[in-house]
Amino acid sequence: MAEKHRKTDHVHEALITDVAAHGQSERDLLIEPYRRELLLHCYRLLGSLYDAEDAVQEAMLRAWRHFDTFTDLGPGSLRTWLYTIATNTSLDTLKKRSARTLPTATSRMSDPARPVAPRSDEVLWLEPFPDSWLTEATENPEARYTRQESVSLAFLTALQLLPPRQRAILLLSDVLDWRAVEIAQLLEISVSAVNSALHRARVTLEKNYHSEQRELPQVSHADTATNMLLARYLQAWETDDVDGLVTLLKEDATLSMPPVPSWYQGREAIRTMLLAVLFPSGVQKRWRLFPTRANSQPAFAVYRADEATKSYRAFALQVVTLDGSRRDQGQVADVTAFLSPKLVTSFGFPLQLPQ
């Protein structure tokens, strides 16, 4: 396991000897510091913010109830024990759920001249993850995938193609940098079984997660060019400037809107769809956008005007992927608008705003 965690683990595990003296409530002091990193781990496994919250809550409850079975075997043992519970809790959830995905991975691109398909509740869709919840997750410098890459929508979409146990093994090995023997102990299987599953998982991921998808720009909050691009993007939405919005897109940019299965590719196709559906003639100042970050990418909480209540109501959480290979051109490569109003609350925004 990564050496970086061991100092923190040692501090937490030093408290274990005090549990008996201070009572069972002290268990929370030992377990709670791991909640955020366990949440991120469960999110990668499940592809859902809400399922991950439920899984972590259940895992923490199991850990609290069975804390007397925990055996302190030295630095890292408490963290390993908690990851074992969280991983198995998530795998239990996946026995009852199908894999999550995005429209771009499930169907052909749509014809913008045809009506937008109705929402689909038959498919489980990926959900975005707030960057503010990443702040307590530790980077593993020797891991195969960085923290930023391992929460990108492109990576998660490919990851969901793996069977649940392969998914867990790949995440533990290539994102968290666990050794095969540690993974084998967690899953109660042989080391050779771990290595075999890891090989199959890597082959599948390489086929479905292409190298160009890894070219996510290392966007900094202080990056002037990026901030200017995102400011122009926001202004185009709020001033009904469809032409200005389209000029910010790559020629082959995509737009998807889960749970709507329709998705569009190319500037002209996106322009046609925007004019027909999101910016209809005669309607002005319909949209308000507020910057945030999701999945290590720029994002916006999107609100739509509601004339009946004279307010703006939450409409979507929009994740914007910038072109990593031609960043100097200031282009948007992909827009994924998650049409679930309640998502904005996880990013610190209200469901309704005054006009």
Per residue, the 3-state secondary structure of 33-48, as one string, reads: HHHHHHHHHHHHHHCC
Q: At what angle do helices 180-187 and 77-94 cross, to 10 degrees?
A: 60
Question: What is the 8-class DSSP label of residue 173?
Answer: I
Instruction: Report pTM.
Output: 0.88
Going from the C-alpha of 165 to that of each of 84, 100, 202, 309, the distances in angstroms are 13, 15, 13, 48
Q: Where in the chain is the domain with CATH 1.10.1740.10?
A: 1-97
Reported as a single tens digit per residue, the pLDDT across 208-264 is 997 555 445 555 555 888 899 999 999 999 999 999 999 999 999 999 999 999 999
Residue-level pLDDT at 4: 43
Helix (H) or strand (E) holding 353: strand 352-354
295-340 per-position pLDDT tens digit: 999 999 999 999 888 899 999 999 999 986 554 456 999 999 999 9
**Type of residue numbered 65:** R
61: amino acid identity, one letter: L
- In which residue ranges of the chain is CATH 3.10.450.50 found? 224-354
| Share above pLDDT 70 across residues of the chain, in percent, rounded to a whole number | 84
Residue 322 one-letter amino acid: L
Concatenated DSSP letters of 44-95: HHHS-HHHHHHHHHHHHHHHHHTGGG----STTHHHHHHHHHHHHHHHHHHT
**Terminal-residue alpha carbon distance, the chain:** 52
pLDDT at residue 135, rounded to an integer:
64
Q: What is the CA radius of gyration of the chain?
A: 22
Identify the CATH assignment for 1-97 out of 3.30.70.2190, 3.60.20.10, 1.10.357.20, 1.10.1740.10: 1.10.1740.10
Residue 55 binned pLDDT confidence (cut-offs 50, 70, 90): very high
Topology of the domain covering 224-354: Nuclear Transport Factor 2; Chain: A, (3.10.450)
Nearest-angstrom CA–CA distance, 95 and 89: 10
The pLDDT, as a whole number, for residue 137 is: 59
